[in-house]
Chain A
Amino acid sequence: MTTMTEKTKVEIIIDDVAYQVNADSNLLQECLSLGLDLPYFCWHPCMGSVGACRQCAVKQYRNEEDQDGLLTMACMTPVQPGARISIADPQAVDFRAGVIESLMISHPHDCPVCEEGGECHLQDMTLMSGHNYRRYDKKKVTHRNQYLGPFINHEMNRCITCYRCVRFYSEYAGGVDLAAQAAHHHTYFGRHEEGALESEFSGNLVEVCPTGVFTDKIFSERYSRKWDLQTAPSICTGCGVGCNTAPGERYGELRRIVNRYHSELNGYFICDRGRFGTGYVNHAERLQQPQDAEGKTLDAETAAARLREIAGKAIAIGSPRAGNEANHALRKLVGEANFHGGFSAAEQACMDEIVAFAGDPAFHNPSIREIEQADAVLVLGEDVTNTAPRIALALRQSVRNRAYELADSARIPHWQDAAVREIAQHERSPLYLFATGATRLDDVAEASVIDTPSGLARQAFALAHRIHADAPAASGDGGGNAAQLDQIAEQLAAAKRPLIVAGAGNGQVELIRAAGNIARALHKRRGNGERKPLDLCLLTGEVNSMGLHLLIRPENSLEAALEKLASGEAENLIVLENDLYRRAPHARVDAALNTARTTVALDLLPNRTTAKADLVLPVTAFSEQQATYVNYEGRAQLAWQVHRNHSAARPAWQWTGEFAHFREALHDCAVSAPAMARLVEVLPDTSHLPGGGKLPRQPERYSGRTAMKANLNVHEPKQAQDPDSALAFSMEGVPARRDATLLASPWAPQWNSNQSISKFQDEINGPLRQGHGGALLLERGAGGGFHPVPEADEATGIELTPARQIFGSEELSARSEAIRKRMSDAYVAISPGIAAGHGLTHGAAVSVRGEDASITVLACVRGSMPSGVAALHASDREIDFHGLGARVSLAPAAGDAAVALDRGLGELIVSDLAQGS
């Protein structure tokens, strides 16, 4: 359904006009591609047709002479060459009006108190179909609502039973706790009992539901209508994927995040961290004024002067969560030799390897759309659902390629969703997981290989050798099951488009090297005729991990910086948006910060590093500044400023004083870092705007202009100017009707909901009409060779690995109120064997002792974990993870220690919690 191969076009006639349309499609999709207004509910561009709602009826005629025609559902009718249909036929119009009237008979007359109102597909379609007054005089069916957790509101009375919610939630996203219940006009969409929706993608229900059954609870608490939100195109900063989002602001607060369509990346969906994890922007503790060590407020000019003053003898540590311009400005301020990456040692090693592979012509780093096309996938050690959730959703779609193959053989078109699922039954394309325990992708995986991280790496090296003999062999199959490895090797080698996924998430560089070996072996095994680059998806940890790595010299690690400071080689330290205590052993950070004469920290929220700094400079959050970020593919994308920050906070590049304008910072970054040369391509072409005009950030019907600030002063202030971009902080200017790349919130006449995106697409599921935003930065250079198998580690003790959680692992989102409601406390996941051996029970406090540190967390006993590994999740606790070293020992902690860890483990969604524990 989403494949973008060459499409054959045929001619059909709609209301006596001839059009060229795709031959392998259905009439509804093609009518929408052509920009025609045909109402629909159950069809979704990403989920195909099921013909449930009957709203898209059209008249189809046999030939030119046929005057009667017959009514047919456009979404269920394949395109046939020469087909003649009519949307405007009175009988079809009348039928559609009848359908909407019956869908509306129990609708609860509560649009004014519905969060969907004003961007409601049901409102749009009701108007489009011409239904005004309710004639039905019998009683309305009513339903009780459920509590569905902190993210989603449930108002079942509004339901029109289109089934989109369950089709997305369970069929597309693999959720198990939302289903259709009861029958006929009693049909109910909910959970078996009240409770938080478990899926990491539950927030998409808000956008998938054509009416207000599922609405955004966080947004509802500080609600505004769509037309009142100041919006600009942005990028999600939750992980390294770089999904496109549209944040909305009102009265100076960031109110909500919705998905922004990108044909190659996120498409129509984002994850819950991205949607609900930006509350930190409105945090009460946001840094507002420059402060010195005593907490005394400084004025901005003095503070900026002081930063420049100490910069001469300073080294700077960059940030993977800050944009390229901020990192580059700091690099320029202190000089390239003194600019260090802000990665932990393990992540730095992983990033070195990831960037090296990104330049290898044997490999291709696939976009999400390409990941969905893989027909055999191997995930190596990365807990994708928790480190890059949107990729996990794409992997879930990739296993359906087997279903599409079967459908092709039975000549079933891909958009015939129910039929494709029927023929496929439980047949799936192979997905293999190498993991340290059960993951959230297990239900679609062919098999999982469970081992300690080092064990997984050895098995992966052994697998590479099985695929191609040139790859170095691991002794004794790396301790793996030979038959299973053979099976995996065979499946990968037989696939047309195999995909290997690994990442920096668990800090195991050997797993990334092993992933490289497997991909290289597969590439070598292919015949010379089809030596296409092999899909190797290496995930980066944070929004700009890739960008930061491209800006630092290889030897300039965080470790090196701390060394230079502790040894006195460098005098002063500038830390950009980085809590060093999350990146390095606390003792080493303390030593460095204590020796540094002056430490300047630029950040947006107070943390352990800003607490120790001699000068703290407040910076703007992602929605308050313009910045470019580079995602895991090496795709640079521009996030526009959405709203203004009214405190003294400013973008970090402004604090350095190196550049007067954003464009200068961006251009200089592109010029001075060779890998960033293409960065300038992210800037849109605004030459077509009439009279050098600007594009409005506010919709045309933005309300309250002359009243919202009238309580402060009845004389309205001048509109804020934005010298740095083509967008204006007002509703004046030419709306980006045609240039969808500059359009945050799609709208078309009669289409107020997000479904209006079809008016901006080339064709359904295709790129936006002006192309998609972003520029792929990385050039493929010289090829590399196989990596040697690492020596088996003889050390004793329990191997320590990080456990990632979608809610809690990312630093800033973990400070958002909404996310905190779904966060578990810090825990260490261990096997039942280890737990029994150490006298630990699930939920009890455990003391974890390592090389230079000892910490107390909760024990999480997981049945599927191998013995010999402890997976530590720090949550938002101040835990010296890096001080623990590679091996740890465990012991029960004092009984009252668990009380301090009061968030517990109740929010943890894992399938393998040991029974009875």
Chain B
Amino acid sequence: MFSLIRDTLLSQAVTLWRVFRKLFVKADTVQYPDEQPYMFPRWRGRIILSRDPDGEERCVACNLCAVACPVDCIALQKTETEDGRWYPEFFRINFSRCIMCGFCEEACPTNAIQLTPDFEMAEYVRQDMVWEKEDLLIDGTGKYHDYNFYRVAGKQVAGKDKGEALNEAEPVDVRSLLP
């Protein structure tokens, strides 16, 4: 009985001491939004579509992000330029469904779709959370600066003929008899 009273009092004293000590420690609270927290580059926030180092749209409308999306909140339609470059006619993300899982970024074979360290996406009207390509497409390369899908892939586009992609030989002359 006595030991129980002693332990309780002691515990309360320790607690009081600890709280008292905190009076002299720097506060953890951040005065958001007056003070902005540091966001890590790989933080999974607002989704953007980036451009390649030449300033062209990176997205080739392959649909892999859409199929990887667990909540099916990405819809797009492939179309093609005159010279054969694929790009999305429309690209829509319903951010009111998005769970910021980053699967789309992992699936993207061209580094086009990227998650950014921006989480300030609240809206008063839910309809405003539906973003189209115009809203998503940025002017830069995002996190990945050098990759240019069409410089690697064998498909011919304007400014890159057959045989000019990474590791490619000159196109074969079918009529030649040389080995």
In the complex, whether A142 has a CB less than 8 A from a CB of chain B is yes
Interface size class of A (residues with CB under 8 A): 35 or more
Assess the A181–B174 pair: CB atoms within 8 A: yes
Which residues of chain A are within 8 angstroms of B152 by Cβ–Cβ distance? 109
Residues 689-703 of chain A, each 1 if its beta carbon lies under 8 Å from chain B, else 0: 000000000000111
Assess the B154–A224 pair: CB atoms within 8 A: no
Assess the B75–A708 pair: CB atoms within 8 A: yes
**Candidates A113, A181, A221, A713; contact of B62 at CB < 8 Å:** A113
Which residues of chain A are within 8 angstroms of B154 by Cβ–Cβ distance? 108-110, 140, 142, 157-158
In the complex, whether A811 has a CB less than 8 A from a CB of chain B is no
**Candidates B61, B92, B127, B170; contact of A707 at CB < 8 Å:** B92
Which residues of chain B are within 8 angstroms of A110 by Cβ–Cβ distance? 153-155
In the complex, whether A659 has a CB less than 8 A from a CB of chain B is no
Assess the B130–A703 pair: CB atoms within 8 A: no
Which residues of chain A are within 8 angstroms of B96 by Cβ–Cβ distance? 714
In the complex, whether B171 has a CB less than 8 A from a CB of chain A is yes
**Candidates B109, B163, B175, B176; contact of A112 at CB < 8 Å:** B109
Which of B36-44, B49-57, B64-72 forms part of the interface with chain A? B64-72
Assess the A224–B63 pair: CB atoms within 8 A: yes
In the complex, whether A760 has a CB less than 8 A from a CB of chain B is no
In the complex, whether A646 has a CB less than 8 A from a CB of chain B is no
Which residues of chain A are within 8 angstroms of B72 by Cβ–Cβ distance? 702-707
Q: Are A182 and B172 also in contact (CB < 8 A) when A112-B109, A112-B110 are?
A: yes
In the complex, whether B126 has a CB less than 8 A from a CB of chain A is yes
Q: Nearest A residue to B64 by beta-carbon distance?
A: A112
In the complex, whether B97 has a CB less than 8 A from a CB of chain A is yes
Assess the A108–B74 pair: CB atoms within 8 A: no
Shortest C-beta distance, A323 to chain B (Å), equals 31
User: Measured between alpha carbons, how far is A241 from B163 in the docked complex, in Å?
Assistant: 46
Residues 225-236 of chain A, each 1 if its beta carbon lies under 8 Å from chain B, else 0: 101100000000
Residues 153-164 of chain A, each 1 if its beta carbon lies under 8 Å from chain B, else 0: 001011000000
**Candidates A111, A158, A188, A228; contact of B172 at CB < 8 Å:** A188
Which residues of chain B are within 8 angstroms of A220 by Cβ–Cβ distance? 80
User: Measured between alpha carbons, how far is A182 from B176 in the docked complex, in Å?
Assistant: 8
Q: Nearest A residue to B125 by beta-carbon distance?
A: A714
In the complex, whether A144 has a CB less than 8 A from a CB of chain B is yes
Assess the A710–B94 pair: CB atoms within 8 A: yes
Assess the A223–B60 pair: CB atoms within 8 A: no
Assess the B179–A714 pair: CB atoms within 8 A: no
Q: What total of A-B pairs shows CB separation below 8 Å?
A: 139
Q: From residue 161 to 179 of chain B, which have CB atoms closer than 8 A to chain A?
A: 162-163, 165, 167-172, 174-176, 179
User: Measured between alpha carbons, how far is A111 from B96 in the docked complex, in Å?
Assistant: 31
Assess the B163–A142 pair: CB atoms within 8 A: yes
Assess the A143–B172 pair: CB atoms within 8 A: yes
User: Measured between alpha carbons, how far is A143 from B80 in the docked complex, in Å?
Assistant: 21
Which residues of chain B are within 8 angstroms of A139 by Cβ–Cβ distance? 167-169
Q: Are A223 and B78 also in contact (CB < 8 A) when A188-B172, A705-B72 are?
A: yes
Assess the B167–A140 pair: CB atoms within 8 A: yes
Assess the A184–B179 pair: CB atoms within 8 A: yes
Assess the B171–A143 pair: CB atoms within 8 A: yes
Q: Nearest B residue to A110 by beta-carbon distance?
A: B153
Residues 92-110 of chain B, each 1 if its beta carbon lies under 8 Å from chain A, else 0: 1110110000000000011
Which residues of chain A are within 8 angstroms of B66 by Cβ–Cβ distance? 228, 703-704
Which residues of chain A are within 8 angstroms of B126 by Cβ–Cβ distance? 714-715
Q: Nearest A residue to B165 by beta-carbon distance?
A: A108
User: Measured between alpha carbons, how far is A708 from B130 in the docked complex, in Å?
Assistant: 10
User: Measured between alpha carbons, how far is A182 from B177 in the docked complex, in Å?
Assistant: 8
Shortest C-beta distance, A142 to chain B (Å), equals 5
Assess the A113–B60 pair: CB atoms within 8 A: yes
Which residues of chain A are within 8 angstroms of B69 by Cβ–Cβ distance? 703
Which residues of chain B are within 8 angstroms of A710 by Cβ–Cβ distance? 73, 75, 92, 94, 130
Shortest C-beta distance, A761 to chain B (Å), equals 28
Shortest C-beta distance, B63 to chain A (Å), equals 5
Q: Nearest B residue to A158 by beta-carbon distance?
A: B154
Shortest C-beta distance, A601 to chain B (Å), equals 35
User: Measured between alpha carbons, how far is A142 from B71 in the docked complex, in Å?
Assistant: 40
Assess the A144–B171 pair: CB atoms within 8 A: yes
Assess the B169–A714 pair: CB atoms within 8 A: no
Q: Nearest A residue to B175 by beta-carbon distance?
A: A182
Q: Nearest B residue to A222 by beta-carbon distance?
A: B77
**Candidates B67, B155, B162, B165; contact of A113 at CB < 8 Å:** B155
User: Measured between alpha carbons, how far is A680 from B153 in the docked complex, in Å?
Assistant: 53
In the complex, whether A833 has a CB less than 8 A from a CB of chain B is no
Which residues of chain A are within 8 angstroms of B170 by Cβ–Cβ distance? 142
Q: From residue 128 to 179 of chain B, which have CB atoms closer than 8 A to chain A?
A: 129-130, 132, 149, 152-156, 162-163, 165, 167-172, 174-176, 179
Assess the A142–B109 pair: CB atoms within 8 A: no
Which residues of chain A are within 8 angstroms of B60 by Cβ–Cβ distance? 112-113
Q: Nearest B residue to A107 by beta-carbon distance?
A: B154
Assess the B75–A143 pair: CB atoms within 8 A: no
Determine which residue in A144, A181, A222 has the highest number of CB atoms from chain B within 10 A of its CB, and name it: A144
Which residues of chain B are within 8 angstroms of A142 by Cβ–Cβ distance? 154, 162-163, 165, 168-172
Q: Are A701 and B155 also in contact (CB < 8 A) when A142-B172, A186-B174 are?
A: no
Shortest C-beta distance, B85 to chain A (Å), equals 8
Q: Are A113 and B75 also in contact (CB < 8 A) when A186-B174, A707-B93 are?
A: no
In the complex, whether A711 has a CB less than 8 A from a CB of chain B is yes
In the complex, whether A117 has a CB less than 8 A from a CB of chain B is yes
In the complex, whether A251 has a CB less than 8 A from a CB of chain B is yes
User: Measured between alpha carbons, how far is A711 from B76 in the docked complex, in Å?
Assistant: 12
**Candidates A141, A157, A704, A714; contact of B74 at CB < 8 Å:** A704
Assess the B97–A706 pair: CB atoms within 8 A: yes
Q: From residue 306 to 361 of chain A, which have CB atoms closer than 8 A to chain B?
A: none
Shortest C-beta distance, B36 to chain A (Å), equals 29
Q: From residue 103 to 139 of chain A, which have CB atoms closer than 8 A to chain B?
A: 108-113, 117-118, 137-139
User: Measured between alpha carbons, how far is A62 from B51 in the docked complex, in Å?
Assistant: 60
Q: From residue 90 to 109 of chain A, which have CB atoms closer than 8 A to chain B?
A: 108-109
Which residues of chain A are within 8 angstroms of B163 by Cβ–Cβ distance? 142
Which residues of chain B are within 8 angstroms of A704 by Cβ–Cβ distance? 66, 72-76
Q: Are A140 and B168 also in contact (CB < 8 A) when A704-B66, A706-B71 are?
A: yes
Determine which residue in A138, A225, A707, A715 has the highest number of CB atoms from chain B within 10 A of its CB, and name it: A707
User: Measured between alpha carbons, how far is A182 from B170 in the docked complex, in Å?
Assistant: 16
User: Measured between alpha carbons, how far is A142 from B165 in the docked complex, in Å?
Assistant: 10
Assess the A182–B174 pair: CB atoms within 8 A: yes
Shortest C-beta distance, A228 to chain B (Å), equals 7
Q: Nearest A residue to B89 by beta-carbon distance?
A: A222
User: Measured between alpha carbons, how far is A221 from B60 in the docked complex, in Å?
Assistant: 14
Assess the A251–B94 pair: CB atoms within 8 A: no
Assess the A140–B169 pair: CB atoms within 8 A: yes
Q: Nearest A residue to B74 by beta-carbon distance?
A: A707
Assess the B169–A141 pair: CB atoms within 8 A: yes
Assess the B162–A143 pair: CB atoms within 8 A: yes
Which residues of chain A are within 8 angstroms of B64 by Cβ–Cβ distance? 112
User: Measured between alpha carbons, how far is A111 from B165 in the docked complex, in Å?
Assistant: 15
User: Measured between alpha carbons, how far is A157 from B64 in the docked complex, in Å?
Assistant: 22
Shortest C-beta distance, A460 to chain B (Å), equals 48
Assess the B162–A157 pair: CB atoms within 8 A: yes
User: Measured between alpha carbons, how far is A225 from B78 in the docked complex, in Å?
Assistant: 10
Which residues of chain A are within 8 angstroms of B149 by Cβ–Cβ distance? 112
Which residues of chain A are within 8 angstroms of B67 by Cβ–Cβ distance? 225, 227-228, 701, 703
User: Measured between alpha carbons, how far is A788 from B92 in the docked complex, in Å?
Assistant: 71
Q: Nearest B residue to A114 by beta-carbon distance?
A: B155
Shortest C-beta distance, B112 to chain A (Å), equals 10
Q: Are A225 and B75 also in contact (CB < 8 A) when A139-B167, A220-B80 are?
A: no
Q: Supply 10 A–B pairs (Cβ within 8 Å), ascending by A.
A: A108-B168, A111-B62, A139-B169, A140-B168, A143-B171, A143-B172, A144-B171, A251-B77, A703-B66, A704-B75
Which residues of B are in contact with A by a Cβ distance under 8 Å?
Answer: 60-64, 66-67, 69, 71-78, 80, 86, 92-94, 96-97, 109-110, 126-127, 129-130, 132, 149, 152-156, 162-163, 165, 167-172, 174-176, 179
Known: A140-B165, A227-B67, A706-B72. 12 other contacts (CB 8 A): A108-B168, A118-B63, A139-B169, A142-B163, A155-B155, A182-B176, A186-B172, A186-B174, A186-B176, A224-B78, A704-B72, A714-B94
